[in-house]
Amino acid sequence: EQALALQQSTQTFILDFAHPKADVWKGLRTAYGVTEAVARATGGLLWDDQTREMFTPDEWHKRRIASWTEEVPDIHNHTVIHAYKSGEYVRAITLGMSKFGLPDVVVEDFSWSMNSAMGNLINLFSQSIAEGVTITQRGEFDLELHGVKNAKVREPQIESLKPNATAVAHLALKQGKWEEGDPNNPLIELTFNRYEGKDNHAKQEKLLSALFGWEDDIVQVKHNDELLAASNKAKSHLPELKKVFSAGLTPGEYIEVKAPFAVPTGGNEWMWVEITAWDGDKIKGLLKNEPFQIPSLHGGQIVEVNQHDIFDYIRRYPDGKQEGNETADIILKMQQAKDKQ
């Protein structure tokens, strides 16, 4: 009802606010309060022109004012991140940083499976510069999670770290390239060139793994009849998945396939590949595991596999739901039986 009523609206009251840089937080919070008061007095809705969001007065108060409990608020509550397909990969950019007199932040060419981690990285960087962390060496920024002052931002991230996480990201910064639809604001692009890797995707994987930690293990199993039957069932879905992929996945949706990679000493190591291109029988994508027995490969590396060699698949939807990977339960059961022997 509100959305329909909004389309019939004939009046807009535009409020522009300006304040000295030294009073950025006091000024912004005051502006929020004034805007809420006007909306309540007129029965209006609130449009944040920087983040391109519409609010009821109650929701505006909840997200913009009531959640602001420290000097520098949780920047995530005052900005948004737009992530969208750009070529084979994904581009993400913030909207709303100009409210703090700061540049917006962009990351180029990553995969959908990294979307959550990249969003956390962008939010942590945005929080750090909002809290006054400065760039001490041109083009470099050391993001230290433990150095984030806002406890509501810092503590949940620390609690979610894997045991091998460093909680530090050594970022390389450069001026972002503006694209149609971007905010009218300077852009900082976060890049990953301070990490080793055969390509940009491998470097991205290294940074995120170092910052947040990672878990990977190897399981030795022999393919029995039950496992092969589950694999054949998964393979029967591949033609349908190819059609879905070719038609275009929804934003945030991606498909991974498990494929064999030859071990120098013999045999195969089976690893997951996130598909970025599917042409005939050839599948190109990003290696999602860190190899244990193949020194020439690294997690995040671009690889090519054959559709005929696929063992299983996972289709992940934007809401977190997934299908496929039915062989995983069988492998787990086989491993548990082996451990009991």
pLDDT of 230 higher than 70: yes
Task: Tell me what pLDDT residue 216 has.
Answer: 66
Mean pLDDT of 282-291: 91
Q: Is 230 helix (H, G, I), strand (E, B) or coil?
A: helix
**DSSP of 161-195, one letter per residue?**
--TT--SEEEEEEEEPPP-TTS-SS-EEEEE-TTS
The per-residue pLDDT for 330 is: 85
Tens digits of per-residue pLDDT, 151-171? 999 999 999 999 899 999 999
d(CA 19, CA 45): 24
Read off the pLDDT of each residue in 68-86 and give the average, rounded to a whole number: 96
- 115-131: per-residue pLDDT in tens? 999 999 999 999 999 99
**What confidence category does residue 217 fall into, taking pLDDT thresholds of 50, 70 and 90?**
low
For 169-216, what is each residue's pLDDT tens digit? 999 999 999 999 999 999 999 999 999 888 899 899 999 999 999 876
Q: Sorting pLDDT into bands at 50, 70 and 90, what band is 136?
A: confident
**Whether residue 87 has pLDDT greater than 90:** no
Please say if the pLDDT value at position 341 is more than 70.
no
| Per-residue confidence band for 329, with pLDDT thresholds at 50, 70 and 90 | confident
Q: Which residues lie closer than 8 Å to 234 by C-beta, 6 or more apart? A: 310, 311, 312, 313, 324, 326, 327
Tell how strand 187-191 and strand 104-110 pair up: parallel
Q: What is the pTM (predicted TM-score) of this model?
A: 0.86
pLDDT of residue 219: 64
| Mean pLDDT over the full length of the chain | 92
Distance between CA 67 and CA 56 in Å, rounded? 16
Cβ proximity of 166 and 186 under 8 Å: no
Most confident among 8-17, 30-39, 135-144 (mean pLDDT): 30-39
**pLDDT tens sequence across 237-286:** 999 999 999 999 999 999 999 999 999 988 899 999 999 999 999 999 99
Mean pLDDT on 76-102:
95
pLDDT of residue 218: 62
